[in-house]
Amino acid sequence: MTETDIATQAADTVGVNEATVIAIIGIILAGILVRFLTMAFAPSLLKKIIRSKNLQDKTVKNSDKALGSAVGALVSYLLAIQLVNAVEEGSTTYVMPDILITIMPNIFQFIIALALVIWAFRLVNVIQDVVLILDSDGVADSSDKTLISALESVMRFVIVFIGSVFIADAIGLNLTSLIAGLGISGLALALAAKDTISNFFGAVTVLLDRPFKVGDWVVVGPSQGEVIEINLRTTLIRTGIDTVITIPNANLVSTPVENYGKRRWRRWQSMLHFDLNSNPDNVEAFRDDVLKSIMANAATMNEDSSWCRVSDISATSIDVSLNLYWDVQGGADERQEKEKFLLEVMQLAKNHELRFYDNRIRQQM
């Protein structure tokens, strides 16, 4: 008896003939060949579609093997379906037992689902690069980091859920009973965690709409302060007395938020009190120089609405009022520019031999 006869007899014993064995081997080899072809050509194709270098590194280098396995298993699955259909239609060329007819397509389906889950998980990191590309400054601040974390968590959940459904179907689980059980359990969980879910979607709304960002001074209902952190459940605000208020994100959706950080300009008014015996000509020259300083200052705006005028003469002092608008991004910048301006005003007063009114001197007299 030759080796071919022995192999044929063994195949017939397990319920398959030689042609079926050759077909199965061919299906497997075809899947392997397609896998390597996908791994070879997918990087060049993705590089033509994706322009970002960071996205290319993550989508090409970290996912080509998993993607190749999924495509290769898909080709083998389609060929296996053709083989199974041929057997079920009464083909005399191929012979397969019922158990092999059932499990062979499921094996390839399982590989497809598992490879796609792995591929999708590796692509979750791409969210960070996409958010930074869409961001105007290209720098990940605390709001961007929270948005990235939220999107990655949602994406992982979706991948696991969909992947689990496909894997369960591949291994022959009853999806109807499974989905019904998940629906009842999900309803109970949603009712128990409705506040957490509301806060989560509130965070998503805040991060997508961006009514404020970390560092903005906001007023939320009776609370006001600087936003120091935006989390998935709560937003933290540091008040003017250095306490921290924790606001559930669900409240931010239904409560009006006043954001001082989005002001186009910051109005500032002040009053200067000079000694009553000051020279009027010096006061006038000082007034003109201060106004020129305001106009020349790169940190101010609305020049037409800015002024420096003698507003009153009292029994004790000559009052000069100031009105200007700061074109700065935050409170720290405003304080810095205000300090520079006030020091310049002091120097101008000294240059024009003007003395600020001192109530203590008047009392001693």
Question: Distance of CA 94 to CAs 2, 108, 146, Å?
Answer: 22, 19, 57
Distant-in-sequence, close-in-space partners of 101: CB < 8 Å, separation ≥ 6: 84, 87, 88
Cα–Cα distance measured from residue 34 to residue 238, given in angstroms and rounded to the nearest whole number? 58
Structure-derived torsion over alpha carbons of residues 68, 69, 70, 73, reported in degrees to the nearest 10: 120
* Cα of 19 vs its chain's centroid, Å: 55
Distances (CA, A) of 270 to 34, 178, 274: 77, 71, 13
Give helix 3-13 / helix 18-49 axis angle, nearest 10°: 80
Q: What are phi and psi of 219, to 5 degrees?
A: -120, 115
Cα 155 to Cα 89, 162, 211: the distances in Å are 42, 11, 24
Low-confidence ranges of the chain (pLDDT < 70): 1-15, 46-63, 125, 128-147, 149-150, 153, 173-197, 199-200, 264, 330, 359-365
Residue at 115: amino acid letter: A
In this structure, the number of other CB atoms found within 10 A of the CB of residue 72 comes to: 25
313-326 pLDDT, tens per residue?
988 899 999 998 88
Token pair in block for residue 87: 């057997």
Calpha distance 323→329 (Å, rounded): 19
User: Phi first, then psi: what are they for 247, rounded to 5°?
Assistant: -110, 120
Q: What pLDDT does 287 receive?
A: 92
Letter string b/e over residues 270-296, b meaning 16 or more CB atoms within 10 A of that residue's CB:
eebbbbeebeeeebeebbebbbebbee
pLDDT at 95: 83
CA distance 72 to 266: 62
DSSP characters over 194-214: HHHHHHHHHHHHHHHH-S--T
Among 250, 190, 213, 183, smallest CA distance to 330 is for 213
> Can you give the pLDDT at residue 189?
55
DSSP 8-class letter at 320: E
Q: What whole-number distance in Å separates Cα of residue 199 and Cα of residue 150? A: 12
DSSP 332-350: HHHHHHHHHHHHHHHHHHH
The amino acid at residue 17 is: N
pLDDT of residue 7: 44
What's the start-to-end Cα distance of the chain, in Å? 134
Query: What residue ranges define each of the domains in the chain, with the CATH number in brackets?
Result: 3-165 (no CATH), 203-262 (2.30.30.60), 266-364 (3.30.70.100)
Cβ atoms 352, 285 nearer than 8 A: yes
CA distance 182 to 27: 36
pTM greater than 0.75: no
Q: Under 8 Å CB-to-CB from 298, ≥6 apart: which residues?
A: none
Q: How far apart are CA 95 and CA 90, in angstroms?
A: 9
In angstroms, the Cα distances linking 261 to 186, 210, 257 are 40, 12, 11
